Amino acid sequence: MSEHSAKAARVLQQDLTPPAHAASISVMLDDFAENLSRLARMDKLSVPGASCFDAVFGIYKSLSRIYDYERQIAETINNTKQDKSNHVLRKKGGKPGMHVRKRVGLSLDYWTTRGLSSQQDRPPKRQKTEAGDEKSSVELEDVHSLTIECEQSPPALYSPIRVSDDWISQDVIKPADQIPSNPDAMELDQSTAEPVLDWLDPLPALITQTESELPGADGLTIPSQPHVRFVARLEPPIVLPMDVAAQAYASVGVDITQDILQSSTFTNLTLPKLQQLFTGASHQNLQISRNLASPDGHNNKINLGLFCTTTDAAMSIKALPFAHPRQLVMLLPVLRQYAFMYRLLRNTFLEHQSTKRVELDSRPLESKLRRDGVKAELDALLKPSVAGTPALDVALSLAPEPQMTVALTTKQGLKKITLRILLNADLEIVHQNIVPEEGDEILRQKKIDGLKTALEVSEDLGIWAVWVRKSYCGE
């Protein structure tokens, strides 16, 4: 505990230390104020017998036990330390850390760009605001995480905090003879046949209230539970379709109420800067242009189209209360699924994009792709005025699970691929005509897997399209 206290002190000291070659008067205290406010809230909510700091640290120790175990298992399938860490972070129980990325407290990293570490001990990238000031932003990091804290809540309304290091057994997994033949869904490790985590239920935290606190108690000390609960704050917030959001809240024992219901469409919440460019009533359609660097170093213009088949409600979740860390671990596969969607759409259509409209046919992509013949498809996809510019169209659907059909123009004709984004952001190719049907089946499957790997690494459909044209179409 003392080691982590010293680390927290260093974080606060860094907040007050000006960058090299910068004047002390130019130091912004935003990070320091945010960290100090977090510590003050935790201290104010702590009472004898129920310290918020001890409760959060107990969760950290249990999550670290799971992380260490899963890293050992990952050694059998990954060769490097970074591979092991990334596998656990992206596919298993996440990577816990205390006082990382200049933020005091406990973070559980659950998603990062493939091939990169979570960079927990690196300071966040900095961004200049419109006023010219530098501002740290977790969203600029290649990491999605949960910040675990405490907040005030009556024990009758929600399960209060418990102070324990033993949320998981010392062995981490259940012995084979203790696993039921038909285990409850909450016991399954991400709905696979993998070992079942051996979660424990610590005893409730009890505090005593005296006669002065409870009039009429005749001097008796009455044990009660603290008016504090755990909360996980999502950094950055996650955008979920409304039905998925309802399931997420239900999994932690909370109903969606009017005070937390702030709904819009999935695309508007994911691409807020482009709301005014969307067209369509029963669907949403977006057309923009973007410059991309090709492998030979040249900048190429590409016309991007996004067609969303639904305008059903979605919501951005910023925080979730929880009673047991098991609830968070069970939610990670869904969070990763939509974190990947979020990054893929933003990297493709928002980051470095030009909002200049292009003269593309606005009819739904599905109707274009149903036409017979490559020439007919190309004619429907591009109008003569932009026929010389490569185009990439994306049709997005969210139910029953996220799926996108991507069509890109190449010298070989129109290439299409339909992908499902599954739990843990696993990709499944439903249909594609990029890799020919004929040829050696092993080599063919390797090329198909390469399409998925390239998208997982780039998290950008524009960059992925340039790579496909170069690697698969000979352009």
The confidence score (pLDDT) of residue 410 equals 87
Evaluate if residue 19 carries a pLDDT over 80: no
The confidence score (pLDDT) of residue 387 equals 42
Average pLDDT over residues 73-90: 76
Q: Residue 41 domain-assigned?
A: yes
Contact status, residue 54 vs residue 162, Cβ threshold 8 Å? no
The confidence score (pLDDT) of residue 285 equals 83
Evaluate if residue 46 carries a pLDDT over 90: yes
Evaluate if residue 309 carries a pLDDT over 80: no
Q: Are residues 158 and 276 in the same domain?
A: no
Among residues of the chain, what percentage have pLDDT more than 70? 74
Average pLDDT over residues 151-169: 95
Q: Are residues 276 and 158 in the same domain?
A: no
Q: Are residues 212 and 281 in the same domain?
A: no
Q: Are residues 291 and 392 in the same domain?
A: yes
Q: Residue 346 domain-assigned?
A: yes
Q: Residue 455 domain-assigned?
A: yes
* Domain span holding position 86: 2-152+154-167+202-226
Segment (H or E) for 146: strand 143-152
The confidence score (pLDDT) of residue 264 equals 84
The pLDDT tens digits of the residues spanning 97-113 come to 999 988 899 999 999 97
Q: Are residues 286 and 162 in the same domain?
A: no
At 62, give phi and psi (nearest 5°): -70, -45
Which of 58-72, 92-106, 459-473 is least confident? 459-473
Average pLDDT over residues 316-330: 96
Evaluate if residue 274 carries a pLDDT over 60: yes
Evaluate if residue 40 carries a pLDDT over 90: yes
Q: Residue 197 domain-assigned?
A: no
Q: Are residues 276 and 131 in the same domain?
A: no
Higher per-residue confidence, 130 vs 345: 345
Higher per-residue confidence, 178 vs 40: 40
Average pLDDT over residues 461-469: 89
Segment (H or E) for 72: helix 52-74
Which of 102-111, 112-121, 138-147, 358-367 is least confident? 358-367
Q: Are residues 279 and 163 in the same domain?
A: no
Average pLDDT over residues 110-117: 72
Average pLDDT over residues 367-389: 39
Q: Residue 28 domain-assigned?
A: yes
Q: Are residues 213 and 309 in the same domain?
A: no
Q: Residue 447 domain-assigned?
A: yes
Average pLDDT over residues 432-444: 89
Q: Residue 329 domain-assigned?
A: no
Evaluate if residue 80 carries a pLDDT over 90: no
Q: Residue 271 domain-assigned?
A: yes
The confidence score (pLDDT) of residue 201 equals 96
Evaluate if residue 171 carries a pLDDT over 70: yes
The confidence score (pLDDT) of residue 388 equals 53
Q: Are residues 23 and 122 in the same domain?
A: yes
Q: What band does 390 get if pLDDT is binned at 50, 70 and 90?
A: confident
CA angle 313, 425, 272 (to 5 degrees): 40
349-356, long-range: CB < 8 A, 24+ apart: 349/271, 349/274, 349/286, 349/288, 349/304, 349/306, 350/271, 350/273, 350/274, 352/290, 352/291, 353/274, 353/288, 353/290, 353/304, 354/288, 354/289, 354/290, 354/291, 355/274, 355/277, 355/288, 356/288, 356/289
Strands 391-397 and 403-410: antiparallel
Q: What band does 215 get if pLDDT is binned at 50, 70 and 90?
A: low
Q: What band does 286 get if pLDDT is binned at 50, 70 and 90?
A: confident
Q: Is 123 exposed, middle or buried (0-12, 13-18, 19+ CB in 10 A)?
A: middle
* CA terminus-to-terminus distance, the chain: 57
The confidence score (pLDDT) of residue 58 equals 96
**End residue of a domain, out of 178, 211, 226:** 226
The confidence score (pLDDT) of residue 129 equals 34
Q: Are residues 306 and 359 in the same domain?
A: yes
| Overall number of domains in the chain | 2
Q: Which of 204-218, 265-279, 401-415 has the highest mean pLDDT?
A: 401-415
Residue 418, number of CB atoms within 10 A of its CB: 16
The pLDDT tens digits of the residues spanning 221-255 come to 678 899 999 999 999 999 999 999 999 999 999 98
Evaluate if residue 432 carries a pLDDT over 80: yes
Q: Are residues 108 and 34 in the same domain?
A: yes
Q: What band does 293 get if pLDDT is binned at 50, 70 and 90?
A: low
Q: Are residues 271 and 139 in the same domain?
A: no
